[in-house]
Structure 1
Amino acid sequence: MKLGSRSANGPGATRGTSAVGPGAQARVLSRRQLRYTDGADASRDRPAHVRAGSGCAFVDVPGVGRRLAVVQDDARFIALVDAHGNRVECLDLPAGKGGVRQFDKLRGNKMDKLDLEAVCALTVDGSPALLAIGSGSAAPREVLVLTRFTKDGPVVEELPAHALFARLHAARAFAGSELNVEGMALIDEAHGGAHGGTLRLFNRGNGAADADGPAVDATCDLPLRALFAHLRDPLTHAAPAPTNVVEHQLGAVDGTRLTFTDATATPHGLLFLAAAEASPNAIDDGEVKGTAVGLLRPDGSRVLVPLLDERGRPLTDKVEGIALDPAQPGKAYLVVDKDDPGAPAELLVVALPPLW
């Protein structure tokens, strides 16, 4: 895989790359289907399984413990997974029109989904919280969802963010031909929460080219304080502009480009996922030819290694979420989107090579 990146703040500026050693790879150790412990609930329009699993993040839920939160791009639920046990709980997000919480082609409402693709943990008003973001690939997907885990229970807010996404669309160096936000990570974590810190967004360059250029894989930064001020009072506070835009070339598998699918912060840099999916645009799915995991280091250098399945073959599952358990830094948890509303999302445990 050829590696390379360039900063949009300076034409032709090149970031360094490095390797972890010949033959380095990440390998699947185990997998499990994600099914809700309490089964389906028609009154809440909830299926028996987690569907279209996407971004994930560990969060400490008061009175419950640490859980892996999994957002779903075509269902208005957050799954709370006991990564070391068997329980999978469900947190309802606000229902759509008519009480609907599932969206797909079979129902004829795919374009109405929130398309939540990324989530990160943070602290808001002293409580552990999750911030999820839509892809921005269509108007209903220009949204953020904030969930605060208070002592009285979870508080969920759906926050329309059309002005913010308009700025992301306008930042051509970040959005390319089609905006498709697939990853989000909180950096400057020591100053995180609603009172400071920075969100780094990852655009997935799997869209179709247009007359002005191709789709791009890129990252940008948003100041968290300004973002929350805008979301709370959009008439008084303007949406923050994306800064520190960097385009990334991640290589290809059998002629199909590797593109970002998720990211998470670590003490050593930003761990990210990439998939080589032969999709025609940012909305429709395609065949996955290969996957990879990598690290963006604070100095701008990057490492990238292939993902292998349990048998040592290239992993061709569409991995869309990645999280690290601080208790097991050499292992990552990956979420697989099966691209089938009737099939449960899967949780993979992956052994990582020494990326840092």
Structure 2
Amino acid sequence: MSARTDSKVFYESLPSASGLEYVQGAYYVLGDDTPYLYEVDEQFILVNRHAIFDTTAVVEGRIPKAVKPDLEGMAHFTYGRDQMLLLLGSGASNTRNKGYLINLSDNMQVQELDLSRFYTFLKEVLHLESEGQLNLEGLAMDDIYTYLLQRPLGAGSNTLLRFDTDDFKRFLMLEGEVPSVALYHFDLPVIGQSSASFSGAYSLEGKLYFTASVEDTPNAIDDGEVLGSFIGVIDLYSLPQAMDALNPYKASVTQLKDTDGSAYSGKAESLVVMKGEEPKSYKVIVVSDDDQGHSELLEVQMELDES
């Protein structure tokens, strides 16, 4: 497979992009240290921003690292007649255990979620014993399943957590029981001494597409030098081959290329995938974060291998 950037747009005033979703002609961009959800039109013009929560903690346009909610995953789903967005914190610290529901059908009404109980459950099933090891970096939902991506630290495997979507919605909307989960483990490429790790997800027609990046950092809190970014795809029918944590399944990936064909040097954070005009051809919109308070949106041409 291949993924080459056709064009890109730099956003000076959109900080730290971490999530992306497309709903009814609009792209919604999430940042991990901003209290706003940003709205971008189909020409990639920033047209609006919507406050998610109190903005008083903002310093020079960003929330300080120690108190930021670190919203890293976003997905669209329907609930009755309503179009909803779910925003999830990474779970890497107590300040990052929150989520938000935004009702696109009801004037962007926001509901805050305390996910402490859910994240405690995830730490247990992932066998994470210390603070900072949970690091959820991708979220995708379809009519059948909901997917969360755990970005590992050190030698751990990249883990896909799969939930039944109806159970997951019941948990979110009706304060139901924590949904049961299935775990799948994946092997991603290495650059230098560092392995690529999940950063974003998007579900389309039986496949889970993801972004991954290689970042030289010792923990889930601090940023590090970005060594490269990837786009990958998981055939969801292959998940039974990815159940062994000691023998993670090799995911299909390609390094993201810049407009000149060189390796893209930014940190790809999430993506939206749309079918192209030719078989095995896709238009991919990627958001990236430069860790300096700015963001970039990339229009990428992706070609999958014949199978």
TM range (shorter): 0.7 to 0.9
Quick check: 1:55 aligned with 2:19? yes
Query: Which blocks of at least 5 consecutive residues in structure 1 are unaligned?
Result: 1-23, 36-48, 61-65, 190-196, 209-213
Change (3 A) 1:102 1:332: farther
Shift of 1:161: 0.9
1:18-29 correspondence to structure 2 within 5 Å: 24-29=1-6
Quick one: distance in 2 between partners of 1:315 and 1:259?
A: 16
1:181/1:201 contact within 8 Å kept: yes
Indicate yes or no: 2:178 matched with 1:239.
Answer: yes
309 and 85 in structure 1: CA distance in 2 versus 1, 3 angstrom threshold = closer
1:41 corresponds to: none
TM-score (structure 2 length as normaliser): 0.87
| Deviations 1:57-110 (CA, angstroms, capped at 9, x unpaired) | 1012xxxxx1111111000111111132524311110116xx334599x97x32
1:126 matched residue in structure 2? 81
Q: Contact 1:174/1:203 (CA < 8 Å) preserved in 2?
A: no
Alignment partner, residue 346 of structure 1: 296
Q: Is 2:41 aligned against 1:88?
A: no
1:183 corresponds to: 138
Shift of 1:268: 4.1
Asked if structure 1 preserves the Cα contact closer than 8 Å seen for 2:230 and 2:253, the reply is yes
- How far, CA to CA, are the matches of 1:149 and 1:350 in structure 2? 27
Counterpart selection for 1:157 from 80, 87, 111: 111
Change (3 A) 1:125 1:270: same
In structure 2, the residue matched to 1:116 is 71
Give 1:303's aligned residue. Answer: 252
| Conservation of the 8 A alpha-carbon contact between 2:276 and 2:283 | no
Q: Take 2:149 and 2:198, find their aligned partners in 1: how far apart are those partners?
A: 7
How much has 1:116 moved relative to structure 2?
0.7
**Which structure: greater strand fraction?**
2
Q: Secondary structure of 1:74's partner?
A: coil
Alignment of 1:126-275 (within 5 A): 126-150=81-105, 152-172=106-126, 178-187=133-142, 189=143, 197-205=144-152, 207-208=153-154, 214-232=155-173, 234=175, 237-241=176-180, 243-275=181-213
Aligned identity (percent) is: 24
Unaligned runs of 5+ in 2: 240-250
Aligned pairs for 1:69-84 (under 5 A) are: 69-84=28-43
Alpha-carbon separation, structure 1, partners of 2:129 and 2:268: 21
Specify the alignment match of 1:331 in structure 2. 283
